[in-house]
Structures are given as C-alpha cells and as structure tokens.
Structure 1
Amino acid sequence: MLAVVTDSTCDLAPETARALGLHVVPLRVLLHGRSFLDWQEIDPDAVYDHQRTGGQVQTQPAPPAAFERVYRELLATHSGILSLHISGHLSDTAEHARQAAAALNAGDRVQVLDTGLASLPLAEAAIAAVETVRAGGDMAQAVRAVEAVRAGLLAEFTVPTLEYLRRGGRLSRAQELLGNMLGVRPVLRFDAGRLKPVRRVRGQQATRDMLEQLEAQFGREPVALTIGHAGRDAARIAELKAAVSASRLKVARGRLQLLGPVIGAHVGPGTYGLMARPWAS
C-alpha cells in the first residue's frame, strides 16, 4: 500500500492528519529567537498575537534530513510514497523532498510532487490522494486524483493587508501598494504556483464577493467547501458559516480549517479564505 506524505503548510491539525492517515513533515517557525516545528511546537495564535504587537516572524523549509527520516521509515512498511508539497515558488520544501528521495536511491518508489498550492488547497489535494489510496488506487491514480483536485478547485483568500506577504518576499512592493487601499481588501488566488492579488473589494463585501465567485463557477453542482481562518475568532467563523449557509452553493461536505503558524507568518491575522471543488459521493 502507498503512503501519502505532505508538509505542514497543508494546515491540517496533527490529530486530523493522523486520523486521515497522512504523514506530515513540519516546516519551522522562527519566533523570539527560537525555532519551532510548525503546528507541533507552536500554536497558530502565538504567531498572530506576536504579529499584532509588531513582532517579526520568519519561517524555514523542512530540511532534506527530515524527509529522509520519514521516507526511510515508510519505505520499510509501504510499497511506495507519494509526497505532496507547497508550491516551489513559495518554499524550497519540495526541492528538499526531492533531495531526500535521491539520497535514498528509492527510484520510482518515491514520487515528489510540487502541487503549486498551499494551505486549504494543499490539504484538499492530500485528502484526495489518501482517499484514492484507501480505495485501492495505485501511484498513478493518486497523482491523477491530485491533478483533478488542482484543476477543479477554486480557492480565494482575503487579507487585511499585504504587508506580511511582501515582507516574506511573496509579493513585490508594487503589488502591495496595488492591494493596500483605504477600506479595500485584496482578494488573492494561486496562479501558476504563486499567490497573487486578483481584485480589490470593499472590506465588508469580501465574503459576499468570494461566494459570488464560487456560485458563478459551481452553480448548483454539489461541492466540498472549506472555510479557512487565521485564528480562533468564534464570532468571525460563525459569520462565515452563516454566509455560506445563506449562499446558493450546494454544500455536500463542509470543513473548517485554521491557518497554521507558517502560513500565518506570511498572511497575518485577520486573513480568511473560502475554497470549493466538485463533490462526487
């Protein structure tokens, strides 16, 4: 049987990943002069609280040695490994995974895939791969499931400021200035592996605007929908759930997901997103 590996930028909580049968290699968060394993040694809210006080947060990709340890253990008990990772335009993590696979001389038993995604979309791709493997699918079928998710999903995020993305080198200063306008929230999508501002909307209209994009794409087709939120803001999460319930979307499966420490370091507090893809029962 295949093992499915991903990295912690999928933003699945450790207990959720374990229940799914996913093996997660953590990136690192640098805070207060210390290095923490993403999700395992630091809570997302610790990052947001630090940012609200003006503190700086840095991140590091998972090193090749971390992947090598995980791959070696899994190859002893599995026929192969599909390793799914954050976009190479955002992190060197996928390249480090490739280096680890090469060091083990595992040949085609380890396939590393740069998904071009992160956070909610990466989680959705990893879940699809696990479900395919559990249903008896082989490596090729699991890769096709990932590609189908990638082709079919629509995910959008909105941030109160592009400052954190610009600080981390994910956006240029010009893109930051384009997005940051008084009373306006930028809406971002993944485009060819990069997170880019695609439009600007009034702050109070951002949720409705993103839902309209989902409604236009999926109509009354059943969808799997995920709400992503930076921090445990119960009131805001309740608002987002209510907005989804009041929309025209036909939600066959719904999920709530917190944005984790590494992703939070780059998008900042107040960020949230909506993602949907076609659902086949």
Structure 2
Amino acid sequence: MNEGPVGLITDSTAEIHMLDPEADWHVVPLELEIDGRRLREGLSATEFHRLLQGVNTVPVTLPPSADAFAAVYEPLLTVHRRLLSLHLSGALSETVANAHAAARALGAEERIVVMDSRLAGLALGLLCREAESRLAAGMDVDTAREDLERIIAAARVYFSVYTLDFLYLSGRLERGRSQRALGTGRSRFAVAGDAADDRPILSLEEGRLSLVERVVGETTRVQRIAELLQGEYGPDETLVAACVHAGPRGAEAAERLERKLAESRPSGSAWYRAPLSPVLCAHTGFDVCGIAVYPRRLSRLAGR
C-alpha cells in the first residue's frame, strides 16, 4: 500500500545535506562540548580543527535528548501518517535510544519507525538516500525498512586511525581488549604523527567497534583496507562505496583508497567521499581514513 509522503528524520552525523543539499530530511543535531563550550554539530572540519587547537580537555559528544526528538516528531505527526527516523549505530551513541524514548512518550510507536542503522557517518547518509529513493517510488515504510536491513547486513566498514587514544578516552573502545588484540604498542594523544608509525585498522561489526589488526605506515593502511574489502566481495561485484576522512593525511589516504578500489572493480560502481563529521571525529581523532561498502545490486541510487 502506498502510504503517501513519509516524514524523514536522521541525525547530524549522516551529513545528508552534504550528499544532497535538497534532501527532504529533518536533521536532529548532536552536540559537542569543547572546554565547557557546547556547540550543536554543524561545524566544518576546518572549524572543528581550529577549535581543538590548545584545548585542555577531550571533546565530549552529546546525543539529542528525547525531548529534542519529540519536538521534531510532534509537528511532523500532524502532516504524515508515518515517520522514518534513521540513526547512528546504537552501540556508539544513545541517539537511537532517545529516539525510541520520544516515540514512546508521544504514544506513537506504531507511527514512528525508529531504525538503528548500525552504521555511522557517510554510510548512514547513503542509507538515508536509499530509504528516500524507495519511499519516493511508492514503497511502504515497512517494506523499505526490510530493504534497508538487507543493505545493513551486507555492508562492510573499515577504517584506520592515527592513535587509539581518542577512542579510549571517549569510551568507545575498551583498552584491555584492544591491547590483547593488537599487542601493547605505543599510544599517544595526538592530532598528527609520523607516517612510519603503527596504524590500527578497525571495523564496525553489528554496529560495534572491532579491532582488526595493526599495520605500519600510510601506504600500508590503504593497501590493507583494500585487501580486506577485496576479500569480502567477488571480483565482478559492483559496489556503492562511501570514503570518509579526517585531517590532511586522512584525506590523501581516502583518495588513494577510492582510486585503488575503483581500478580493481568493474564499471558501474558508485563512489562517494566526504570529511568525517566533527562529532565522529571527536572520537577518532584526525588522520582518519575509512570506507563503507555494500553491493550495488541492493541499491536504488542513480549512478555516479
């Protein structure tokens, strides 16, 4: 059944308007607290980097409250039969839990479909676009959700950081488990570093961070991430790929990674690249290179 227009909501980590400035999504912002100063997400990567210079504390990120979600949902429920609220992995943030709480408080759990994407950043943004393309074609929201779950299950996410310290300090990674996975090694709280240093590679598994291995140097991390992805998909599989980056070295690495994968894939794959959102960057630090990939056969996005 075609339910007519569905109200669309996501959070600011999706960077949806970077993908499509005309996207018809209502964005609920996360917040950053830097040295006691609270800021709604919306900073550019350059502004965020500038604010980090000389700070005395680790940036803190804050999810939208249930009240903030309710303030967005309530007026939308007066004009839409259903809402789709699609968000950052619940294992990384309380954002999706607060969205559920708002739906319950409004007594609208049947009308508001809250989804945990189990993804983050540009990958979440692409999932939003996949949802929008299905709903615009007349698919009902419950069937669209099933389609999105198939994409989520097939998606693979790998990324490399300069140091694990930001992830430790933000509580997104357990220090004991990561040290067992990678060995002891050195750990620094830093924004940039020597290209010959160790580069941890991580993945998202069911929305949770998982350490994969440690490599040495910028070139090696690009090569190894490409190898990991090549092992996930057959050589003839066309892909939708979202490369993210933070910091100058991260941007260069992401460009090389995209180029390397594109050269080894058949024509028809779709490639997207964008800076990591400041909220996510607060947890990863700078000099980040990452990619999220899923099969093109599951996509309804126009070619790019």
Instruction: Using structure 1 for the length normalisation, give the TM-score.
Output: 0.89
* Greater alpha carbon shift after TM alignment, 197-206 vs 225-234: 225-234
Within-5 A mapping of 1:43-62: 43-51=44-52, 53=54, 55=56, 56-62=58-64
- 1:246 aligned partner: 263
- 1:78 aligned partner: 80
Choose from 11, 34, 53 the match for 1:31.
34
- CA change 1:76–1:17 in 2 (3 A) is farther
Choose from 251, 261, 266 the match for 2:278.
261
Within-5 A mapping of 1:1-281: 1-12=5-16, 14-16=17-19, 18-39=21-42, 42-51=43-52, 53=54, 55=56, 56-177=58-179, 178-179=181-182, 181=185, 183-203=197-217, 204-218=219-233, 219-231=235-247, 235-248=252-265, 250=267, 252-280=269-297
Please give the per-residue CA displacement for 1:225-278, whole angstroms capped at 9, x wherever unaligned: 111111466644543443334334655211112111100000010011112111
SS in 2 for 1:77: coil
How many residues are treated as equivalent by the alignment? 278
- Residue identity in the other structure for 1:4: L
Give me the whole-angstrom Cα distance separating, in 2, the residues matched to 1:33 and 1:140.
42
Give me the whole-angstrom Cα distance separating, in 1, the residues matched to 2:132 and 2:22.
11
- CA change 1:206–1:237 in 2 (3 A) is closer
SS in 2 for 1:220: coil
Give me the whole-angstrom Cα distance separating, in 1, the residues matched to 2:245 and 2:117.
21
- Residue identity in the other structure for 1:167: L
Question: Any unmatched runs of 5+ in structure 2?
Answer: 187-196
* Greater alpha carbon shift after TM alignment, 16-25 vs 204-213: 16-25
Give me the whole-angstrom Cα distance separating, in 2, the residues matched to 1:215 and 1:147.
22
Give me the whole-angstrom Cα distance separating, in 2, the residues matched to 1:37 and 1:99.
21
State whether residues 87 and 116 of structure 1, in contact with CA within 8 Å, keep that contact through their aligned partners in structure 2. Answer: yes
Q: Once the two structures are aligned, what percentage of the paired residues are identical?
A: 31
- Residue identity in the other structure for 2:288: T
SS in 2 for 1:20: coil
Q: Once superposed, what is the RMSD of the aligned Cα atoms?
A: 2.3
Question: Any unmatched runs of 5+ in structure 1?
Answer: none
SS in 1 for 2:80: coil
How far did 1:107 drift? Answer: 3.7
- CA change 1:245–1:111 in 2 (3 A) is closer
How far did 1:77 drift? Answer: 2.0
How far did 1:74 drift? Answer: 1.6
- Residue identity in the other structure for 1:45: T
State whether residues 220 and 250 of structure 1, in contact with CA within 8 Å, keep that contact through their aligned partners in structure 2. Answer: no
How far did 1:18 drift? Answer: 4.6
- CA change 1:76–1:18 in 2 (3 A) is farther
Higher percent of residues as strand: 1
Give me the whole-angstrom Cα distance separating, in 2, the residues matched to 1:222 and 1:192.
23
- CA change 1:50–1:181 in 2 (3 A) is farther
Please give the per-residue CA displacement for 1:139-183, whole angstroms capped at 9, x wherever unaligned: 111211210111111111110111000000011122454547363
State whether residues 223 and 257 of structure 2, in contact with CA within 8 Å, keep that contact through their aligned partners in structure 1. Answer: no
- CA change 1:94–1:153 in 2 (3 A) is same
Instruction: Using structure 2 for the length normalisation, give the TM-score.
Output: 0.83
How far did 1:46 drift? Answer: 3.0
State whether residues 88 and 116 of structure 1, in contact with CA within 8 Å, keep that contact through their aligned partners in structure 2. Answer: yes
Give me the whole-angstrom Cα distance separating, in 2, the residues matched to 1:52 and 1:250.
43
- CA change 1:181–1:120 in 2 (3 A) is farther
Give me the whole-angstrom Cα distance separating, in 1, the residues matched to 2:150 and 2:73.
25
